[in-house]
Structure 1
Amino acid sequence: MATTPTTRLSKQARREQLLDTAAALVRDRGTDGLTLVTLAEAAGVSRPIVYDHFGTRPGLLLALYRRLDERHRTATAQALRETTPVEDAVARVISAAYFGCARDMPEVTAVSAALKGNPEMEATRSELADGYAALMADALAPYSELPRAALRLRCAALLGAAETLAGELARGRATEAQAVEALTGLILDGRARPRT
């Protein structure tokens, strides 16, 4: 009896496949349904393969969180490249991308919540927020007279406001359009000129 040969994936391709499967599991079952064992079963691989890639469940959740953040940042950067280089349009793209992430990748919020209190997660969130604030500052720099460090600091504060607006959206106290409008207004006010 002939058997179908299995395709051996490179380590990176296997990791991507496992993270795709992990994201699907979180969407279908929530983070409680994602363990190294359930991931191995869903991906059709042995448990040692999953353990080799992620080590622990928090390691898996952190890798998934990083990947989702990378996809969000890539989509935001792409949208910024494709928009008209006018400050209102840039501010709106940043805002729409932020809330679009919550809509298009709901597993980000679930994974983040599952890792609350994890010291490694707090360091990762801080690192990723710094990167996103830098992305925002780069996009807004042509429209601001603020020194780069001051603009980046305002962008970090705007991310805190965006997180609060996301909470309002999640509780049904605002629509996505209202959240985008509010964040766009804050961005346009926050990139202002230095006080004299």
Structure 2
Amino acid sequence: MPTPSQRLSKQARREQLLDTAMAIVRGRSTDELTLQTLAEAAGVSRPIVYDHFGTRPGLLFALYQRLEERHRSATEQALRNAGGSPGEVAGVMSAAYFACATDMPEFTAISAALKGSREMELSQREMLDAYTALMADALRRHSDLGIEELRLRCVGVLGAAEAIAAELNSGRITASVAVAALTDLIVGGVTAR
């Protein structure tokens, strides 16, 4: 890793700052992540951090986007390798979802920290819509539901997935139980009339 005195490209510096911010969230909490604490931890001046993120919500949202992109990318990759049955597709989606929940537990904390900002909530909604569309596209060939009805069921399944992820992250259930439950919900939701 470069020393603070080494000049990084703007994109490389942003990635370094996001890595450092994620370490702060993991090691402490979202409450402890400010632009000042990030600057100190990254060994850069505050104006550099302000230049990249502008505000604390801007920083939190950049972290949220990064995690969302990784989650969506992992799901897309997993779906490319999915078998042909509804259960196999649902199982792959469920495993990818909970891998994200366990590999990126900060996702929930960062999302919660963004609540209350209208702009951020609209952007989060757009990302959720994109993920819902990905899910519906993967399940469309396995369902007799109309496009809008399938989309709505995917929204419901994602709400259930979030609740199951909370159970998983609290240690109340195992990953295999979470994957099995979500898989059953997906299959039941897209095949039921």
TM-score by length of 2: 0.90
Q: How many Å apart are 1:156 and its aligned residue?
A: 0.9
Give the whole-Å Cα distance in 2 for the aligned partners of 1:9 and 1:167. 38
Question: Are the structure 2 counterparts of residues 5 and 123 from structure 1 closer, same or farther at C-alpha, using a change threshold of 3 Å?
Answer: closer
**Would the aligned equivalents of 2:4 and 2:43 in 1 still touch at CA under 8 Å?**
no
Stretches of structure 1 that go unaligned for 5 or more consecutive residues are none
Q: How many Å apart are 1:14 and its aligned residue?
A: 1.7
Alpha-carbon RMSD: 1.9
Larger CA deviation: 42-51 vs 9-18: 9-18
Aligned equivalent of 2:20: 21
Give the whole-Å Cα distance in 1 for the aligned partners of 2:170 and 2:8. 42
Give the whole-Å Cα distance in 1 for the aligned partners of 2:135 and 2:47. 40
Aligned equivalent of 1:149: 148
Give the whole-Å Cα distance in 1 for the aligned partners of 2:17 and 2:166. 30
Give the whole-Å Cα distance in 2 for the aligned partners of 1:164 and 1:192. 22
Letter in 2 for 1:85: G
Q: How many Å apart are 1:65 and its aligned residue?
A: 0.7
Aligned equivalent of 1:129: 128
The aligned runs of 1:62-141 (5 Å cut-off) are 62-141=61-140
Aligned equivalent of 1:54: 53
Aligned equivalent of 1:30: 29
Aligned length: 191
Larger CA deviation: 114-123 vs 179-188: 114-123
Moved over 3 A (4+): 4-7, 170-173
Letter in 1 for 2:169: A
Q: Secondary structure at the match of 1:174?
A: coil
TM-score by length of 1: 0.89
Task: Find the structure with the greater CA-based Rg.
Answer: 1
